């Protein structure tokens, strides 16, 4: 962990605000955490004043609440209600449109995004999730590739894990190690807080040079390292240490699937909030004359009956089959397809499940019965 803090610098809140200004001057759309509708949401930021200063989140299975901290930390929460996925892989997007004339059909693809995007406050689990989506979509989806072309990432090391976090057991956090331009560790003991900073790219170095900063002291670096150790040791959940792929394959007919299906609503909340799920469907529409045609894409979920529909019916007609598909794909067959687990341990699927189904609990139950 100490290697992360080599060549570390310190900026204060004013310096952080200047960093946002530097990004704005260069044409970046600045997106980051803010308080909206009783939750941490990712939205456009005008400055540091839009960040969730002094707020933290309380998360448990099927439970999410914001509450006040006793300091003015800007990033004193775990993760928001949704992920940065929607800025690269949006919930809905137009793909092409066409116009039918008596003798011709003129079709045109929708233009790809050319907007530069700056993501603020990105956690280690979210950077891992972006890397996973890159592996799946970067070569397959030109619109996704266009959105990922010019992105500046200001990451933040997580020092406040929630009751549903388990990124440490997925080797996905809480320390940010790759995939960023600038990474901050917030020292909340200072009032107002200061940030230990390191950079990883030429753009990150240029940004740091443009704002007021100083060298970090040994004490500040030690406090930052201690905060990261504390976070790693105080995760609210832990994924079982067993090799999950063979565990799941051995238990495809386990009665635990029936038990979870009795609770599961098949609502798809878990896939909607998951930062790595990428399933979609397409819709073709026309106007009443049949001359104007269009195709769009929207998120879908393996929990919907239509998603696995083929001629004659759904391949997975029961909730039991759909939940099993979701878990075994994410943790067993996903690594075979894409070389990595489909789970980053962010805990969103646990927090935002209306009935509080806990993926770590389900895996632990399968493992315990297998070991018996």
pLDDT at 3: 40
Tell me the per-residue pLDDT of 88-119, one tens digit each, with 9 for 90 and over. 999 999 999 999 888 888 889 888 878 899 99
pLDDT at 101: 85
Residues 179-203: what's their mean pLDDT? Answer: 94
Tell me the per-residue pLDDT of 165-185, one tens digit each, with 9 for 90 and over. 999 999 999 999 999 999 999
Task: Give residue 81's pLDDT band: very low, low, confident or very high (50, 70, 90).
Answer: confident
Averaged confidence pLDDT in the chain = 92
Task: Give residue 371's pLDDT band: very low, low, confident or very high (50, 70, 90).
Answer: low
Range from 189-198, 222-231, 341-350 carrying the lowest mean pLDDT: 189-198
Indicate if the pLDDT at residue 6 is higher than 60: no
pTM: 0.92
Residues 320-340: what's their mean pLDDT? Answer: 92
pLDDT at 191: 82
Residues 243-251: what's their mean pLDDT? Answer: 91
pLDDT at 367: 86
Q: Is 23 left (phi over 0), alpha (psi -120 to 50) or beta?
A: alpha
Range from 231-235, 258-262, 314-318, 355-359 carrying the lowest mean pLDDT: 314-318
Range from 99-108, 140-149, 256-265 carrying the lowest mean pLDDT: 99-108
pLDDT at 200: 95
pLDDT at 336: 86
Indicate if the pLDDT at residue 1 is higher than 80: no
Per residue, what are the HEC states of the chain?
CHHHHCCCEEEEHHHHHHHHHHHHHCCEEEEEEEEECCEEEEEECCCHHHCCCCEEEEEECCEEEEEECCCCCCCCCCCCCCCCHHHHCCCEEEEEEEEECCCCEEEEECCCCCCEEEEEEECHHHHHHHHHHHHHHCCCCHHHHHHCCCEEEEEECCCCCCCCCCCHHHCCCCCCCCCCCEEEEEECCCCCCEEEEEECCHHHHHHHHHCCCEECCHHHHHHHHHHHHHHHHCCCCCCCCCCHHHHHHHCCCCCHHHHHHHHCCCCCHHHHHCCCCCCEEEEEEECCCCCEEEEEEEECCCCCHHHHEECCEECCCCHHHHHHHHHHHHHHHHHHHHCCCCCCCCCHHHHCCCCCCCHHHHHHHHHHHHHC
Residue ranges covered by each domain of the chain = 2-93+105-233, 244-371
């Amino acid at each position: 962990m100490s290697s992360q803090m080599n060549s570390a610098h310190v900026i204060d809140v004013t310096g952080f605000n200047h960093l946002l200004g530097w990004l704005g001057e260069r044409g970046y759309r600045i997106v980051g955490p803010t308080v909206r509708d009783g939750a941490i949401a990712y939205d456009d930021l005008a400055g540091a004043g839009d960040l969730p200063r002094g707020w933290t989140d309380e998360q448990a299975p099927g439970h999410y609440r914001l509450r006040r901290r006793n300091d003015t930390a800007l990033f004193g929460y775990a993760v928001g209600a949704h992920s940065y996925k929607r800025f690269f892989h949006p919930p809905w997007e137009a793909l092409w449109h066409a116009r039918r004339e008596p003798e011709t059909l003129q079709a045109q693809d929708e233009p790809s995004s050319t907007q530069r995007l700056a993501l603020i406050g990105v956690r280690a689990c979210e950077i891992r999730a972006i890397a996973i989506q890159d592996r799946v979509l970067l070569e397959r989806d030109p619109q996704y590739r266009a959105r990922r072309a010019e992105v500046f990432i200001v990451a933040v090391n997580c020092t406040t894990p929630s009751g549903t976090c388990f990124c440490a057991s997925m080797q996905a956090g809480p320390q940010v190690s790759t995939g960023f331009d600038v990474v901050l560790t917030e020292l909340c003991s200072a009032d107002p807080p200061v940030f230990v900073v390191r950079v990883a790219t030429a753009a990150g170095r240029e940004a740091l040079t443009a704002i007021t900063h100083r060298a970090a002291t040994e004490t500040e670096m030690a406090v930052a390292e201690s905060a990261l150790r504390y976070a790693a040791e105080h995760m609210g959940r832990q994924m079982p240490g067993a090799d999950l792929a063979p565990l799941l394959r051995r238990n495809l007919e386990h009665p635990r699937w029936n038990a979870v299906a009795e609770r599961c609503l098949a609502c798809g909340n878990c896939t909607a909030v998951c930062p790595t799920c990428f399933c979609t469907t397409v819709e073709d529409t026309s106007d009443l004359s049949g001359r104007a045609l269009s195709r769009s894409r929207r998120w879908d979920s393996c929990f919907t009956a239509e998603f696995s529909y083929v001629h004659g019916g759904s391949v997975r007609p029961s909730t039991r089959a759909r939940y099993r598909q979701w878990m075994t794909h994410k943790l067993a067959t996903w690594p075979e397809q894409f070389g990595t687990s489909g789970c980053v341990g962010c805990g969103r699927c646990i927090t935002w499940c209306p009935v509080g189904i806990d993926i770590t609990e389900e895996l632990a139950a399968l493992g315990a019965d297998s070991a018996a």
